[in-house]
Amino acid sequence: MYDVHSVREDFPVLKEVIYLDNAATTQTPVPAVKAMDEYFFKYAGNHGRGAHRLARETTNHYEDARENVADFLNADVKKTIFTRNATEGINVIARGFPWEDGDHVIVTLVEHHSNLLPWMRLRKEGVDLTIVKPDATGVVDPEDIASAVTERTRLIAITQVSNVFGSIQDVSRVIRTARREDVRVLVDGSQSAGHMAVDLGSMDPDFFVTPGHKGLLGPQGTGVLYIREPDLIEPLFLGGGMVRAVTDLDYEIEASPSKFEAGTPNMPGAIGLGRAVEYVKDIGVKNIERHELALAKDAARRLAAIEGVEVYGPKERASVVPFNVTGMNAHDVAMILDQTRKICVRSGYHCAIPGIGFLGVDGTVRASFALYNTQEEVDKLIETVLNVAAFVA
């Protein structure tokens, strides 16, 4: 185990607030911020462009960061692409996949809008879409996905951990079945990477996306896209940094990952992310998972025991705990938690209107945990929700 109190020293804002909105974005540790600081103050140049020392040093740090991230996810470094966020990665696949009229895509109802809208847009362009429903706790049965597969199915897009329910999907089973049918699988790891062990070598998805700014503790504006067969996908953006040769008639695209990183990349962000991933690795993702799950389990159990509070999601949950106080709007609850105890939680639809609609509510309050949260913080959350629920009773 690690000492959560010494970890908290690396996140100064935690002295000011109780931060339980980690499913939206996490805080970034001091060593990662220092790595970005060093980029700006010691060697800022452009990546892959130019022979001078600052350009070379920037390129080396940027590529080292890629190696750190690839190593952390157990992915081939040449197939590990930096993006702005998870959303960008999903859109790169949705736009770059070699679709044919009548092709079929399967998604689930628990997806974040970022893993729903890009596929819904394809429906307007001649691709069929099936949306598979979960059970009442947000768990999708892999058998239901398997039975939705037709001979025209080309891709299944599924989140590993739902940001609405906190449910964990058996993506490995979905991938194994899909591979037998020659169907590709995109795994949205936005709520899993950094929170639980993610080994792309053994999971073996065709595509995997994660933001850098959630469980990986990197800065906002960073993300990672893994593509198992980079030759399959047309790049979304064309321009500098991704071509090998250009004539006035044609151009020749670089191999992955450059192929997918047109234009000046977010060098400080990627470098900060590389350092943040090292930080996570040093603490150990298994330790982080154990810590977060214990907090989430305790919070869910104690919230559910409060009269007038309903908790959503399965018993075996990830570190996401959605709930509502009967008779109160989720935003009002979140506002009271902040105003009275500086407790920061998310409220509303969580960018997943269909998933929230499936719950039959008008939004939820969502407490989500990270490696730096403590039992005392859970106690304060419970105490405050108890007071709010007693007030409306």
Ligand X SMILES: Cc1ncc(COP(=O)(O)O)c(C=O)c1O
- The distance of closest approach from Cβ of residue 262 to ligand X in the complex, given in angstroms and rounded to an integer, is 19
Give residue 24's Cα distance to chain centre. 9
Asked whether position 373 contacts ligand X by CB under 6 A, the answer is no
Q: How far is the CB of 216 from ligand X (least distance, A)?
A: 11
Instruction: Find out whether 261 and 242 touch, Cβ atoms under 8 Å.
Output: yes
Counting Cβ atoms within 10 Å, is residue 226 exposed (0-12), middle (13-18) or buried (19+)? buried
Q: What are the tokens at 21?
A: 């909105």
Binding part of the chain for ligand X, among 48-56, 85-93, 125-133, 372-380 by CB under 6 A, reads 85-93
CB of 60 to ligand X, least distance (A): 27
Among 28, 80, 115, 364, binds ligand X (CB under 6 A): 115
Quick check: 114 binds ligand X (CB under 6 A)? Answer: yes
- As measured in angstroms, the least distance from the Cβ of 213 to ligand X is 6
Window of 51-59, 109-117, 132-140, 145-153 that interacts with ligand X by CB under 6 A: 109-117
Q: Which is nearer to ligand X, 211 or 272 (CB)?
A: 211
Instruction: Based on the shown chain and the rule CB under 6 A, indicate whether residue 163 belongs to the binding site for ligand X.
Output: yes
Q: How many angstroms separate the CA atoms of 216 and 203, rounded?
A: 18
Q: Which of residues 294-323 bind ligand X (CB under 6 A)?
A: none
Does 91 contact ligand X by CB under 6 A?
no
Is the torsion defined by CA of 72, 73, 74, 75 positive or negative? negative
188 vs 278 by CB, closer to ligand X: 188
**Residue 289 or 336 with smaller CB distance to ligand X:** 289
Query: Which amino acid, residue 373?
Result: N
266 binds ligand X (CB under 6 A): no
DSSP 8-state code for residue 115: G
3-state secondary structure of 344: strand
- Interhelix angle 285-304/375-392, rounded to 10 degrees, is 20
Identify residues 133-162 at the interface with ligand X (CB under 6 A): 159
Q: Spot the catalytic one: 351, 352, 356, 370.
A: 351
Cα angle: 65, vertex 192, 72; to 5 degrees: 30
Does the footprint of ligand X cover residue 28 (CB under 6 A)?
no
Site string for ligand X, 173-212 (x = CB under 6 A): ---------------x-xx-------------------x-
Nearer residue to ligand X within complex by CB, 48 or 215: 215
Under DSSP, is residue 265 helix (H, G, I), strand (E, B) or coil?
A: coil
DSSP secondary structure string for all residues of 22-83: TTT-----HHHHHHHHHIIIII---TT--SSHHHHHHHHHHHHHHHHHHHHHT--GGGEEEE
The minimum distance between CB 218 and ligand X, in angstroms, equals 11
368 in contact with ligand X (CB under 6 A): no
Q: How far is the CB of 6 from ligand X (least distance, A)?
A: 28
Distance of alpha carbon 193 from alpha carbon 205, whole angstroms: 14
Residue 169 near ligand X by CB under 6 A: no
CB of 162 to ligand X, least distance (A): 7
CA nearest to 159, candidates 188, 186, 137, 131: 188
- In this complex, which beta carbon is closest to ligand X, that of residue 142 or of residue 211? 211
Q: Is 351 a catalytic residue?
A: yes
- Quote the CA–CA distance of 223 and 89 in Å, as a whole number: 8
Residue 347 lies near ligand X (rule: CB under 6 A): no
- 108 interacts with ligand X by CB under 6 A: no
Q: Which is nearer to ligand X, 58 or 108 (CB)?
A: 108
- Piece in contact with ligand X (CB under 6 A), picked from 36-44, 80-88, 177-185, 324-332: 80-88
End-to-end CA distance of the chain: 41
Q: Where are the alpha helices (DSSP H) in 74-159?
A: 86-96, 117-123, 142-148
Indicate the burial class of 204 (C-beta count within 10 angstroms; 0-12, 13-18, 19 or more).
middle
Catalytic residues: 351
* Residues at the interface with ligand X (CB under 6 A): 23-24, 85-87, 112, 114-115, 159, 163, 188, 190-191, 211, 223, 351
